[in-house]
């Protein structure tokens, strides 16, 4: 495993899972972590949520492999798994040029933008600026895929699947399903498993088959 | 989600991916703890979230106490009665409990008693980043510092054994990056617990009259000598590595960052990892110093280990080079990330620090500061206060605010947080402001905080004939930390039916002259009460009572009911933007042409904005749509409990 980029430890994968409170990115991290554990890998995670119950930034560092602490060193982010467009790009300030971004198309306006004090940034311009520095960016319509899987609320599981499909979660699909079983039951389990499968499928298609991991 | 029952069911050897605080809860089961109490505070809150669900089934008594001092005093009595007990809190909570904690060193304990303090380097959710390891020294108590979830569980079980073996309270100190770190935890065997005990009298041990305390200090000093021996041989203190000229002494979360930093720098060095760091294991550390030419002391916050290490080197006449904060290499504040440690180690060794190339977007992105939720009753209360002040033309008002969600009144558009020190300080500082200034004083305090530390300040205010308005922001819960029930709630931990305390009756009994209960969703009524109160002499108390919007959402979801949604009639909207600028609900959006829209996915249906006091042209009304907002498994809703 590992990105193979220069200066990186080939024996670890570092993922930032970022979004806005209520989007379920902590749950996504837990499922990915449980799956890694079930696959026999070492895994640690850190959760930082701000003061607000809702509407603030929630950021998770997930580290798999030969690591000790849960904080990803600067420039060592392999994947930004972003549930919201602006937050996906904001997380790049900790990433180096070798990073990959898989971001949901979802956009949630900060209060400052809604009240006209600030401008929601031009996401396309930011993406091309990042891409020109070597960052690989994939944007996927997670809410639409989740809806097709059975519930819009499973967007977070589509993103888990996307990380898997792109090769950043080196576990078998059975491990993810096992992990889901630890936390969900009944129809919710089925919908979430389908969402993971569809997210994984989508990314496998996007990154182009067996080359898999970018 | 989350299924905390797993923590109960897990058999010996079973592996789980647990949060540090969840591992602490499992540790309590493995230690056979029978009594646990807390006042909720981040980053310690999830321990309570778990116990709230599983304590009863585990045979453990658990309560959300009125404050940390009462939590610890209850735990102390349980220990005196032979029940293993645990009090847990955030770092500043131990300030409140410190009066009891420090004296507990003198009495000592019977059944194991461990006090957990969750410190918050970098202040992710706190008013300061005090280093609570000092409390172990103040109380002459052993200090245990885990670095990860597995250690959080294992060290806690060990701490209970130590406490009981030596008859001492133990301070168990985590930090945000340990309490909120998730990792693989292997379960150990569970010890049967009992929540019932009996107290055998021994006043010459438990009643700290001066004559008793003087005698017990001698015993405390003798016990401390025994604890030194425990630290020297503790399995929590260990040397890693196999011989290098340079070594490092470390503890807690700093250990993780040190190991990651060494990987970044491509260095290897011996590491003395201290899991029991007070009393300071002098023999162990001296041996380590003697074996190395340079020794780094890598610890977050204050130079707690470093001072002791330097003193020891001086006493033993050791010529080893010691590198830490005191010689300027390591920072004195904020958390230690791998990057911070790598830079400091590199600079001290004359190496080039790692300088990763980072992506530059070349543009400042709009921040996303914490906001009050859509439907939050606090927003309506602040709005009514702002209106009252404008209508009464009151200026130079002092806003004394407090700790809780309503503390976000600090931000725009209300900006009503002039002073916030600590729990209860709104009414406390209002006492002083009203005494030394001629300015009007308004204190904002939540229901939970009111009971925690606001009561004595209110007594002081009434007794001393102060003039102030106290607004109790009563949403029926301790929302910010995860919806724990305060004393005005009908149900406590585990859904036990309790006796709710009435805030207004308490205020009247204390002697406040003007006491009114208002519904903040009724702006007109709230406004008129606030104006009346501001015109009254003496201490006025307004209880702004309306359930937390998130709890209401959870309740509607449980009943399968829809949340109403409001919409703006674009033909009536005058584009005055009063709603956006002065009320500032996150669901408003300014659209083309300067008109306003409501985002139906964010609107909580409180309807406050539809009142003419917010929308003069009455352009906002309930939409016929409504919506099924919360599907199953919504996390915030899942955490919310009826109180």
Of the candidates A48, A114, A130, the beta carbon closest to that of B589 is on A114
CA distance B46 to B7: 13
Q: Which of A6, A8, A54 to mutate to test the interface with B (most CBs of B within 10 A)?
A: A54
Contact list, A150 vs chain B (CB under 8 Å): none
Residue B252 and residue B225 share a domain: no
Q: Which residue of A has its CA nearest to B636?
A: A22
Q: What's the pLDDT band for A48 if we cut at 50, 70, 90?
A: confident
CB within 8 Å: A115 and B253 = no
Using the 3D structure, point to which of B501, B523, B553 is the last residue of a domain. B553
B456 pLDDT higher than 60: yes
Residue B107 and residue B10 share a domain: yes
Residue B491 and residue B569 share a domain: no
Of the candidates A37, A46, A66, the beta carbon closest to that of B181 is on A46
Residue B244 and residue B229 share a domain: no
Contact list, B125 vs chain A (CB under 8 Å): 50-51
Q: How far out from the chain centre does Cα B345 lie?
A: 32
For position A53, what pLDDT does the model report? 67
CB within 8 Å: A71 and B408 = no
B296-323 pLDDT, tens digit each: 999 999 999 999 999 999 999 999 999 9
Q: Between the CA of residue B475 and those of B210, B530, B637, what are the distances in Å?
A: 44, 18, 16
Give the DSSP letter of residue B517: E
For position B350, what pLDDT does the model report? 96
For position B1, what pLDDT does the model report? 53
Q: How far out from the chain centre does Cα A78 lie?
A: 11
Q: What's the pLDDT band for B411 if we cut at 50, 70, 90?
A: very high
A1 pLDDT higher than 70: no
Q: Which residue of B has its CA nearest to A24?
A: B635
B469 sits in which H/E element: strand B468-474
B319-350 pLDDT, tens digit each: 999 999 999 999 999 999 999 999 999 999 99
In a domain, B68, yes or no: yes
Of the candidates B15, B339, B370, the beta carbon closest to that of A50 is on B370
Q: What's the pLDDT band for B624 if we cut at 50, 70, 90?
A: confident
Tokens of A70: 């849960």
> Shortest Cα distance from A121 to chain B (angstroms)?
7
In a domain, B296, yes or no: yes
CA distance B375 to B379: 8
CB within 8 Å: B373 and A52 = yes
Give the CATH number for residue B622.
3.30.70.20
Q: How far out from the chain centre does Cα B37 lie?
A: 14
Give the CATH number for residue B221.
3.40.50.970
CB within 8 Å: A70 and B408 = no
Helices B282-290/B210-233 angle, 10° precision: 40
Phi, psi (deg, nearest 5) at residue B118: -100, 105
Which among A61, A182, A57, A27 has a CA at the least distance from the CA of B634? A27
Q: Which residue of A has its CA nearest to B342?
A: A73
Q: How far out from the chain centre does Cα A42 lie?
A: 18
> Shortest Cα distance from B387 to chain A (angstroms)?
20
For position B626, what pLDDT does the model report? 58
Residue B491 and residue B386 share a domain: yes
Residue B183 and residue B314 share a domain: no
Contact list, B590 vs chain A (CB under 8 Å): 114-116
CA distance A36 to B236: 28
> Shortest Cα distance from B316 to chain A (angstroms)?
34
Instruction: Tally C-beta pairs within 8 A across A and B.
Output: 203
Q: What is the mean pLDDT of chain B?
A: 95
CB within 8 Å: A45 and B408 = no
Q: Between the CA of residue A197 and those of A168, B38, B536, what are the distances in Å?
A: 15, 42, 65
Contact list, A121 vs chain B (CB under 8 Å): 363, 365-366
Residue B403 and residue B342 share a domain: no
Read off the pLDDT of each residue in A180-198 and give the average, rounded to a whole number. 96
Q: What is the CATH number of domain A13-203?
A: 3.40.920.10
CB within 8 Å: A56 and B371 = yes
Which among B175, B191, B229, B205 has a CA at the least distance from the CA of B79? B205
For position B176, what pLDDT does the model report? 97
Q: Which residue of A has its CA nearest to B265?
A: A7
For position A52, what pLDDT does the model report? 63
In a domain, B184, yes or no: yes
CA dihedral for B208, B214, B215, B221, sign (positive or negative): positive
Please, what's the b/e burial string for B496-531 (b: 16 or more CB within 10 A of its CB; e: otherwise)?
Answer: eebebeebbebbeebebebbbbbebbbbeebbebbb
B631 pLDDT higher than 80: no
Say whether the peptide bond before residue A213 is cis (omega within 30 degrees of 0). Answer: no
Of the candidates A30, A75, A109, the beta carbon closest to that of B589 is on A109
> Shortest Cα distance from A19 to chain B (angstroms)?
11
| Tally of domains within chain B | 4
- Any idea which of A39-48, A201-210, B40-49, B208-217 has the lowest mean pLDDT? A201-210
CA distance B51 to B60: 9
Phi, psi (deg, nearest 5) at residue B19: -70, 150
The answer to whether residues A84 and A73 touch, using CB atoms and an 8 Å cutoff, is no
CA distance B408 to B382: 10
Tokens of B123: 């202040």
B638 pLDDT higher than 50: no
* Look-up of token digits 């079973």: B14
Give the DSSP letter of residue B453: I
Of the candidates B1, B361, B580, the beta carbon closest to that of A89 is on B361
Contact list, B634 vs chain A (CB under 8 Å): 22, 153
**Collapsing DSSP states into helix, strand and coil, what is residue B420?**
coil
Read off the pLDDT of each residue in B595-601 and give the average, rounded to a whole number. 91
In a domain, B635, yes or no: no
Contact list, B369 vs chain A (CB under 8 Å): 50, 56, 110-112
B634 pLDDT higher than 60: no
Residue B454 and residue B588 share a domain: no
Of the candidates A30, A68, A184, the beta carbon closest to that of B17 is on A30
Residue B296's beta-bridge partner residues? B248, B323
The answer to whether residues B299 and B335 touch, using CB atoms and an 8 Å cutoff, is no
**Collapsing DSSP states into helix, strand and coil, what is residue B183?**
strand
CB within 8 Å: A120 and B366 = yes
Tokens of A156: 């977070």
Contact list, A73 vs chain B (CB under 8 Å): 260-261, 264, 337-339, 342, 354, 356
Domain with B59, as residue range(s), is 5-233
Q: Which residue of B has its CA nearest to A57?
A: B368
Contact list, A111 vs chain B (CB under 8 Å): 368-369, 371, 584, 586
**Collapsing DSSP states into helix, strand and coil, what is residue B223?**
helix
Cα three-residue angle B446-B451-B454, rounded to 5 degrees? 75
The answer to whether residues A58 and A21 touch, using CB atoms and an 8 Å cutoff, is yes
Q: Between the CA of residue B53 and those of A45, B32, B47, B60, B639, what are the distances in Å?
A: 24, 17, 10, 11, 11
Tokens of B284: 């162990």
CA distance B161 to B176: 25
Contact list, A54 vs chain B (CB under 8 Å): 371, 373, 550, 636
B159-212 pLDDT, tens digit each: 999 999 999 999 999 999 999 999 999 999 999 989 999 999 999 999 999 999
Please, what's the b/e burial string for B335-367 (b: 16 or more CB within 10 A of its CB; e: otherwise)?
Answer: bbbbbbbbbbbbebeeeeebebebbebeeebbe
Under 8 Å CB-to-CB from B117, ≥6 apart: which residues? B44, B88, B89, B90, B91, B93, B94, B132, B135, B171, B172, B173, B174
Q: Which of A111, A169, A190 to mutate to test the interface with B (most CBs of B within 10 A)?
A: A111
Contact list, B341 vs chain A (CB under 8 Å): none
Cβ neighbour number for residue B587 with a 10 Å cutoff:
22
A131-152 pLDDT, tens digit each: 999 999 999 999 999 999 999 9
CA distance A18 to A85: 10
3-state secondary structure chain A: CCCCCCCCCCCEEEEEEEEECCCCHHHHHHHHHHHHHHCCCCEEEEEEECCCCCCCEEEEEEEEECCCCCCCCCCCCCEEEECCHHHHHHHHHHCCCCCEEEEECCCCCCHHHHCCCCCCCCHHHHHHHHHCCCCEEEEECHHHHHHHHCCHHHHHHHHHHHHHHCCCCCCCHHHHHHHHHHHCCHHHHHHHHHHHHHHHHHHHHHHCHHHCCC
Using the 3D structure, point to which of B505, B531, B553 is the last residue of a domain. B553
> Shortest Cα distance from A14 to chain B (angstroms)?
13
In a domain, B366, yes or no: no
Q: What's the pLDDT band for B370 if we cut at 50, 70, 90?
A: confident
Pairing of strands B270-274, B246-250: parallel
DSSP character string of B122-148? T-SSSS----THHHHHHTT--EE---S
> Which long-range contacts link B434-439 to residues 24+ away (Cβ below 8 Å)?
B434/B461, B434/B466, B434/B467, B434/B468, B435/B464, B435/B466, B437/B398, B439/B396, B439/B397, B439/B398
Q: In what order do the strands lie in the sheet with B85-90?
A: B61-64, B35-38, B85-90, B113-119, B170-175, B143-144, B276-278
CA distance A136 to A128: 10
Of the candidates A42, A53, A93, the beta carbon closest to that of B479 is on A53
Q: What's the pLDDT band for A209 if we cut at 50, 70, 90?
A: low
Using the 3D structure, point to which of B349, B369, B402 is the last residue of a domain. B349
B640 pLDDT higher than 70: no
Read off the pLDDT of each residue in B1-17 and give the average, rounded to a whole number. 91
Of the candidates B260, B337, B588, the beta carbon closest to that of A114 is on B588
Q: What's the pLDDT band for A109 if we cut at 50, 70, 90?
A: confident
Residue B185's beta-bridge partner residues? B16
Share of chain B above pLDDT 70, in %: 97
Residue B403 and residue B310 share a domain: no
Residue B536 and residue B389 share a domain: yes
Burial of B624 (0-12, 13-18, 19+ CB in 10 A): exposed
The answer to whether residues B370 and B410 touch, using CB atoms and an 8 Å cutoff, is no
> Shortest Cα distance from B587 to chain A (angstroms)?
8
Contact list, B550 vs chain A (CB under 8 Å): 53-54
The answer to whether residues A191 and A154 touch, using CB atoms and an 8 Å cutoff, is yes
The answer to whether residues A58 and A90 touch, using CB atoms and an 8 Å cutoff, is no
Of the candidates B125, B263, B264, the beta carbon closest to that of A51 is on B125
Contact list, A48 vs chain B (CB under 8 Å): 124, 176, 180
**Collapsing DSSP states into helix, strand and coil, what is residue B350?**
coil
B639 φ/ψ sector (left φ>0, alpha ψ -120 to 50, else beta):
alpha
Cβ neighbour number for residue A30 with a 10 Å cutoff:
25
Residue B206 and residue B61 share a domain: yes
Q: What's the pLDDT band for A33 if we cut at 50, 70, 90?
A: very high
Domain ranges of chain A: 13-203
> Shortest Cα distance from B84 to chain A (angstroms)?
31
Contact list, A152 vs chain B (CB under 8 Å): 631
> Shortest Cα distance from A127 to chain B (angstroms)?
9
In a domain, B584, yes or no: yes
B633 pLDDT higher than 80: no
Q: Between the CA of residue A36 and those of A30, A102, A179, B111, what are the distances in Å?
A: 10, 19, 9, 40
Residue B308 and residue B159 share a domain: no
- What is the ipTM metric for this complex? 0.94
**pTM, to two decimals:** 0.95
A210 pLDDT higher than 70: no
Read off the pLDDT of each residue in B389-413 and give the average, rounded to a whole number. 96
Of the candidates B184, B370, B581, the beta carbon closest to that of A43 is on B184
CA distance B543 to A40: 55
Pairing of strands B468-474, B441-446: parallel
DSSP character string of B296-330? EEE-SSS-HHHHHHHHHHHHHT---EEESTTTTSS
For position B641, what pLDDT does the model report? 32
Tokens of A214: 């970018």
Read off the pLDDT of each residue in A50-61 and give the average, rounded to a whole number. 80
For position B642, what pLDDT does the model report? 31
CB within 8 Å: A69 and B370 = no
């Amino acid at each position: 495993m590992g990105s193979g980029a220069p200066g990186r430890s080939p024996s670890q994968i570092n993922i930032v899972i970022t979004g806005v409170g209520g989007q379920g990115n902590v749950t996504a991290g837990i499922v990915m972590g449980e799956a890694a554990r079930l696959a026999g890998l070492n895994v640690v995670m850190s959760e930082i949520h701000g003061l607000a119950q809702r509407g603030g930034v929630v950021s998770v560092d997930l580290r798999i492999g030969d690591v000790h602490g849960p904080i990803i060193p600067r420039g060592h982010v392999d994947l930004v798994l972003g549930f919201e467009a602006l937050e996906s790009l904001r997380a790049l300030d900790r990433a180096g040029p070798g990073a990959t971004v898989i971001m949901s198309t979802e956009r949630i306006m900060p209060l400052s933008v809604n009240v006209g004090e600030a401008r929601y940034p031009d996401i396309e311009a930011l993406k091309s600026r990042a891409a020109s520095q070597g960052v690989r960016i994939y944007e996927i319509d997670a809410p639409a895929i989740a809806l097709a899987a059975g519930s819009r609320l499973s967007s977070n599981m589509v993103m888990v699947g996307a990380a898997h499909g792109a090769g950043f979660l080196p576990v078998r699909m059975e491990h993810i399903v096992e992990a889901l079983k630890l936390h969900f039951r009944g129809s919710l389990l089925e919908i979430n498993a389908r969402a993971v499968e569809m997210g994984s499928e989508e990314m496998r298609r996007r990154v182009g088959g067996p080359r898999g991991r970018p | 989600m989350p299924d905390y029952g797993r923590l109960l069911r897990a058999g010996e050897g079973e592996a789980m991916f647990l949060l540090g605080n969840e591992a602490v809860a499992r540790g309590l089961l493995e230690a056979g703890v029978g009594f646990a109490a807390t006042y909720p505070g981040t980053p310690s809150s999830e321990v309570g979230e778990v116990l709230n669900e599983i304590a009863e089934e585990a045979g453990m008594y658990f309560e959300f106490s009125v404050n940390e001092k009462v939590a610890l005093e209850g735990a102390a009595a349980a220990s005196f009665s032979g029940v293993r007990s645990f009090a847990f809190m955030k770092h500043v909570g131990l300030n409140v409990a410190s009066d009891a904690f420090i004296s507990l060193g003198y009495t000592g304990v019977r059944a194991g008693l461990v006090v957990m303090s969750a410190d918050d380097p970098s202040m992710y959710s706190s008013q300061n980043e005090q280093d609570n390891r000092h409390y172990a020294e103040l109380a002459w108590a052993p200090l245990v510092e885990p670095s990860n979830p597995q250690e959080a569980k294992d060290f806690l079980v060990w701490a209970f054994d130590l406490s009981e073996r030596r008859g001492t309270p133990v301070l168990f100190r985590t930090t945000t990056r340990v309490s909120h770190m998730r990792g693989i935890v292997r379960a150990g065997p569970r010890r049967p617990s009992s929540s019932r005990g009996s107290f055998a009298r021994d006043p010459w041990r438990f009643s700290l009259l001066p004559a008793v305390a003087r005698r017990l200090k001698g015993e405390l000093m003798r016990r401390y000598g025994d604890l030194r021996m425990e630290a020297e041989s503790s399995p929590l203190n260990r040397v890693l590595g196999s011989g290098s000229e340079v070594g490092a002494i470390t503890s807690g979360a700093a250990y993780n960052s040190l190991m990651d930093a060494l990987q970044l720098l491509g260095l290897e060095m011996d590491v003395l990892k201290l899991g029991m760091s007070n009393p300071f294991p002098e023999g162990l550390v001296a041996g380590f110093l003697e074996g190395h030419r340079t020794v780094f002391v890598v610890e977050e916050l204050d130079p707690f280990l470093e001072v002791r290490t330097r003193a020891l080197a001086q006493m033993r006449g050791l010529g080893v080079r010691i590198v830490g904060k005191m010689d300027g290499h390591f920072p004195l504040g904020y958390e230690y990330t791998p990057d911070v440690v790598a830079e400091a180690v590199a600079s001290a060794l004359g190496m080039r620090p790692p300088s990763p190339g980072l992506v530059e977007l070349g543009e400042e992105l709009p921040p996303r500061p914490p906001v009050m939720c859509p439907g939050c009753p606090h927003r309506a209360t602040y709005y009514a206060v702002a209106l009252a002040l404008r209508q009464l033309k009151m200026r130079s008002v002092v806003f004394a605010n407090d700790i809780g969600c309503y503390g976000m009144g600090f931000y725009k558009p209300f900006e009503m947080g002039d002073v916030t020190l600590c729990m209860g300080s709104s009414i406390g500082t209002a006492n002083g402001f009203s005494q030394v200034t001629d300015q009007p004083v308004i204190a904002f305090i939540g229901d939970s905080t009111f009971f925690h530390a606001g009561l004595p300040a209110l007594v002081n205010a009434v007794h001393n004939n102060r003039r102030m308005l106290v607004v109790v922001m009563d949403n029926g819960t301790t929302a910010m930390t995860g919806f724990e029930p305060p004393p005005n709630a009908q149900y406590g931990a585990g859904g036990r039916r309790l006796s709710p305390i009435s805030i207004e009756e308490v205020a009247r009994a204390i002697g406040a002259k003007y006491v009114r209960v208002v519904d903040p969703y009724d702006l007109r009524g709230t406004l008129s009460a606030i104006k009346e109160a501001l015109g009254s002499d003496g201490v006025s108390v307004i209880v702004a009572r309306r359930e937390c919007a998130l709890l209401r959402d959870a309740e509607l979801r449980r009943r399968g009911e829809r949340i109403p949604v409001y919409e703006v009639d674009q033909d009536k909207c005058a584009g005055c933007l009063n709603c956006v600028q002065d009320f500032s609900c996150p669901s408003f959006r300014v659209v083309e042409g300067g008109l306003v829209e409501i985002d139906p996915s964010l609107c909580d249906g409180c309807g406050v904005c539809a009142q003419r006091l917010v929308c003069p042209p009455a352009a906002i009304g309930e939409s016929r749509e409504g919506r099924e907002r919360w599907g199953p498994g919504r996390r915030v809703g899942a955490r919310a409990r009826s109180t």
